[in-house]
Chain A
């Protein structure tokens, strides 16, 4: 099975390790993984700021780069949601293009969705020491219905204990450009989230979207919390040994 990996702009720039963890998880499951070079961003920052044109340009780029794969996997619910729910709408006057986009987006999956629903992963051979609380990122949860998949997969990680926080489904306040344009509200929402994380008694807050994780980590550290780990679900699923091998140099 040939899988195209869409790394996402945030992972590329901020946390390449998450990209490698994703790559490794897919390879471990027997996928042939290709990372097309032409990829940049799904277009959401422009699209959500009212610039449809950037959405259209990047949707076409995505189509060109990924149409030949059996599946596309993305370590982000938000980018996957953009592709699955918004790309086709960008071309109301071009049904032929819409058809191609729909066909590709039906093969496009968020990482935990893919591992759980397509690959039916039952044994991850990973371990984690401590309690994990899972934040349901909005697009993954509400556009893609991701809720049980990451929890079921974390359940396969030896030593990982899931401790739900209060309101895991409440937005952390990231919202892309919102987090800068309306930073006061975003910080308050992040603060509420961090308090729920801390109250859960978890050692690590885990999620499937780097944007939310940067927002939560940024607030935790500003609050003076240097001990709560902030991890992408791919990092937890791949396990500490594999993660050490991935290195970043």
Chain B
């Protein structure tokens, strides 16, 4: 996916004044938030499950190499070919090699965020093969030629009118805005592709080490078509997605759908274990898994390792007041919201996404809902520390922090400075006590007045009263 995280601030400016996006984000607003809160009432020991889930994920990350090797052995024993992709480019290369070796012309694809990291669709198209997204949201975005803006609801930034427009234009059908009818229309378009495709690509929510299975958690049913109808199935997923056992999966599954869409369980939970067996009536003849590193292993053993616990539910972005106001595209890469503010700089380089760890008030709403207890504000702060230490932030910011630090550590100087500032700003505030503009603080005063100080500092008044 084309990276624009380095221009986060200008992306934000555009998104905040985009009336359609703003309307769509308001409409989306609290839907997932309310649904999650409602469905969590079913779980009487939520905190215990979160603790258990975090411990499961931490245990895997501490021994990721051995779990991956076990997974590879078990998957191979069931007839799956396991491929290792060190970089995003390797993902595209491996996939195209498999396709070329089998004369693949047409590929159907169910949702895979990992494939967005490498821009797989464009690479496949450049290799003269047709790829069709079959997740409804992703299908809409493929028609619109746009990237996803949310990890589980990729087209959340679009409204029904926009979808109606796209369908009518691309399907050459009469424009309709009835949602069930639009779904039927998409189904009618997609069905022939499922039947005629030579290859199906899916993501993988989890890899089960003890069985060598790939687990996909979906709602629309397209995932099952993609993974069973074509002769070749390729699952693409990150190396961090391993779970030791099916038992662990059951713990995580109590949290994932509830945290994500506010469902007790999704419509489909598919366990894909190798190609079609001798006695099976259907299933793919070839089963492949591409395990993607692409920056993940760099986080192991660092403070940021905890970000790899992520099970991609999207709750952090759903609850983030920054995400709610700017939408996912502003973040400029595959993963938006708080988890994106941590993963994007980690995967594409801090200097390419310098503003993302700053794009949070550290309000903590994300951490409270994270099913695997990722301390997202703390991790954003870790990245802020790295930016500061590597001198990546603007000199003016580093300079002001330096001056402030020295003064704050010298109370007399500090008191004197505060005294002068309080007076000066008080005078500037005039009768109403409001500053409409302040040099260097236009980030504040562009959208808000700055209430002026009342004239004297507490310290000054207190000393006077005591004497």
Binding site for B on A (CB under 8 A): 7, 9, 11-17, 19-20, 35, 37-41, 43, 45-54, 57-58, 61, 138-139, 142-143, 169-171, 173-176, 178-192, 214-215, 217-219, 221-222, 230, 248-249
A194, closest chain B residue (CB): B448
A interface footprint on B424-467 (CB within 8 Å = 1, 0 otherwise): 00000000101000000111101111110111111111100000
Q: A16-B454, A190-B447 are in contact. Are A185 and B462 (CB under 8 A)?
A: no
Secondary structure at chain A's binding surface: helix, strand, loop or mixed? helix
Chain B nearest Cβ from A36, distance in angstroms: 9
Cα–Cα distance between A45 and B361 once the two chains are bound (Å):
12
Query: 8 shortest A-B CB distances, which residue pairs?
Result: A187-B447, A175-B361, A50-B388, A183-B443, A218-B448, A50-B384, A16-B458, A171-B363
Counting chain B residues whose Cβ lies within 8 A of the other chain, the interface size class is 35 or more
A192 in contact with B325 (CB, 8 Å): yes
Q: Is there a chain A Cβ closer than 8 Å to B145's Cβ?
A: no
**Chain A residues with CB under 8 A of B441:** 180
A38 in contact with B411 (CB, 8 Å): yes
Seed contacts A16-B460, A49-B397, A54-B405; 13 additional CB < 8 Å A-B pairs: A9-B408, A16-B461, A49-B388, A171-B361, A171-B365, A186-B448, A188-B16, A188-B447, A190-B447, A191-B447, A219-B448, A221-B432, A222-B448
**Chain A residues with CB under 8 A of B368:** 142
B321 in contact with A179 (CB, 8 Å): no
A217 in contact with B451 (CB, 8 Å): yes
A-B contact pairs, 12 of them (CB 8 A): A7-B458, A15-B453, A45-B404, A50-B384, A57-B405, A138-B361, A138-B364, A184-B16, A186-B443, A192-B325, A218-B449, A221-B448
B447, closest chain A residue (CB): A187
A50 in contact with B381 (CB, 8 Å): yes
Cα–Cα distance between A54 and B451 once the two chains are bound (Å):
27
Cα–Cα distance between A248 and B455 once the two chains are bound (Å):
8
Cα–Cα distance between A190 and B460 once the two chains are bound (Å):
32
| Other-chain contact of A189, B321, B355, B404 (Cβ < 8 Å) | B321
Cα–Cα distance between A105 and B456 once the two chains are bound (Å):
30
**Chain A residues with CB under 8 A of B44:** none
A187 in contact with B446 (CB, 8 Å): yes
Q: A37-B411, A54-B401 are in contact. Are A186 and B462 (CB under 8 A)?
A: no
Chain A nearest Cβ from B306, distance in angstroms: 14
A247, closest chain B residue (CB): B461
A40 in contact with B414 (CB, 8 Å): yes
A14 in contact with B448 (CB, 8 Å): no
Q: How many A-B pairs with Cβ below 8 Å?
A: 196
Q: Is there a chain A Cβ closer than 8 Å to B280's Cβ?
A: no
| Other-chain contact of A13, B12, B418, B432, B448 (Cβ < 8 Å) | B418
Cα–Cα distance between A189 and B434 once the two chains are bound (Å):
20
Q: Is there a chain A Cβ closer than 8 Å to B177's Cβ?
A: no
Cα–Cα distance between A173 and B80 once the two chains are bound (Å):
50
Q: Is there a chain A Cβ closer than 8 Å to B387's Cβ?
A: yes
Q: A35-B462, A40-B408, A185-B12 are in contact. Are A215 and B363 (CB under 8 A)?
A: no
A14 in contact with B388 (CB, 8 Å): no
Cα–Cα distance between A179 and B445 once the two chains are bound (Å):
10
**Chain B residues with CB under 8 A of A46:** 401, 404-405, 408
Chain A nearest Cβ from B5, distance in angstroms: 14
| Other-chain contact of A12, B367, B389, B393, B459 (Cβ < 8 Å) | B459
Q: A139-B364, A171-B361, A182-B355 are in contact. Are A248 and B461 (CB under 8 A)?
A: yes
A182 in contact with B12 (CB, 8 Å): yes
Q: Is there a chain A Cβ closer than 8 Å to B351's Cβ?
A: no
A173 in contact with B443 (CB, 8 Å): no
**Chain A residues with CB under 8 A of B457:** 12-13, 16
| Other-chain contact of A183, B364, B397, B434, B446 (Cβ < 8 Å) | B446
Q: A13-B422, A48-B362 are in contact. Are A184 and B411 (CB under 8 A)?
A: no
Cα–Cα distance between A51 and B462 once the two chains are bound (Å):
31
Cα–Cα distance between A219 and B434 once the two chains are bound (Å):
11
B442 in contact with A183 (CB, 8 Å): yes
**Chain B residues with CB under 8 A of A61:** 409
Q: A40-B414, A178-B358, A182-B355 are in contact. Are A51 and B405 (CB under 8 A)?
A: yes
**Chain B residues with CB under 8 A of A170:** 321, 365
Cα–Cα distance between A185 and B360 once the two chains are bound (Å):
10
Chain B nearest Cβ from A123, distance in angstroms: 27
A189 in contact with B325 (CB, 8 Å): yes
Cα–Cα distance between A169 and B461 once the two chains are bound (Å):
34
